[in-house]
Amino acid sequence: MQSVLDVVGRVACTNATILLLGESGVGKEVVAQAIHRVPPRASYPFLKVSCAALPEGLLESELFGHARGAFTGAHRDRMGKFELARHGTIFLDEISEISPRLQAKLLHVLQDGEFTPVGAEKVFHSDVRVVAATNRNLEEAIRTGQFREDLYYRLNVITIRIPPLRERREEIPVLAGHFLRRFNTAYGRSAAISPETMRVFTEYAWPGNVRELENAVKRIVVLGATMLRQNLRSIRARAVPPAPAAPGAPIGLKTIARRAARAAERIAIEAVLDHVAWNRVKAARLLQISYSALRYKIVECGLAG
């Protein structure tokens, strides 16, 4: 991450548009906030827009605002993020998910520094630093016609790639310690991470990156020693690759498919359990299976002690 911070230090004081690339959960928003904290924009708003969370019509209004009567329910004028973030920073997360029509409108803002709210005639001037982020390959999206090439070049003035956690394992103890202190303070606990636990943490690949590590530490603090044993068992199972078959030993396609399906099932079940803080009743409802079936799956997938 030192190279990332070096680039941030050199470009944060400029007005250049910045594109952050990296897998989900690597900390792109944290880097965007670090960019914003450098003057002269630090004393002005930092506003985030999750481009994948809203349908096209609502996203357009969220970004650019709307005039009274622009659509059903628009009872008054409403300022969008580009106006609210004046002199500050707007963080466009998951930029690859916006529609082609909105891509064209965003391109106009980046080129000319102007925008028009939905249903309005007045043109507004935009004075914001734009930081965009995506976990997708935008060049591939351009080739498939999903992303405008001209917008890509407007966004790609400065590109910062944030490496996944598995490429910066030396940071895992520091991050885990940070999350441990935060959650101990938040929940009035005094949980600790043992050297053995930390060793498992540093060996694990963390496909969910920093966000997954944060959730793992939170489970330790909130649910205590019992959950710690279950958590470590689950992490060990995913950290150690399955033993390869003996040379020449036959392995059928059905066997491969069954193993892959079980691995995917385990990941999906654990994600849902994490989402509902291991409330098995809620998890079973979300997974659309019976409570007893979920209990069986938890044991079968090695998620329980």
DSSP codes, 274-295 = HHTTT-HHHHHHHHTS-HHHHH
Query: Last residue of some domain: 194, 224, 241?
Result: 241
Query: Last residue of some domain: 140, 163, 186?
Result: 163
| Same-domain status, 170 and 155 | no
| pLDDT for the residue 296 | 77
DSSP state of 170: G
| Same-domain status, 147 and 296 | no
Residue 175: CATH number of its domain: 1.10.8.60
Q: Are 172 and 193 in contact (CB under 8 A)?
A: no
- Which domain does 34 fall in, by range? 2-163
Residue 61: CATH number of its domain: 3.40.50.300
| Same-domain status, 7 and 104 | yes
| Same-domain status, 234 and 265 | no
Query: Using CA atoms, how far apart are residues 264 and 271, in angstroms rounded to an integer?
Result: 11
Total number of domains constituting the chain? 3
| Same-domain status, 8 and 140 | yes
| Same-domain status, 96 and 54 | yes
| Same-domain status, 23 and 157 | yes
| Same-domain status, 53 and 173 | no
| Same-domain status, 154 and 178 | no
| Same-domain status, 23 and 110 | yes
| Same-domain status, 16 and 103 | yes
- In Å, what is the CA distance from 90 to each residue of 32, 35, 114, 153, 174? 9, 11, 15, 18, 29
Question: Strands 89-93 and 129-134: what pairing?
Answer: parallel
Query: Using CA atoms, how far apart are residues 45 and 65, in angstroms rounded to an integer?
Result: 16
Its pTM stands at 0.72
| pLDDT for the residue 153 | 94
Chunked into runs of 10 residues, the chain (305 residues) has average pLDDT values of: 85 91 92 92 94 88 86 81 94 94 94 88 90 94 94 93 92 94 94 86 88 90 67 59 48 63 74 77 85 79 60
DSSP state of 302: T
Query: Last residue of some domain: 163, 187, 220?
Result: 163
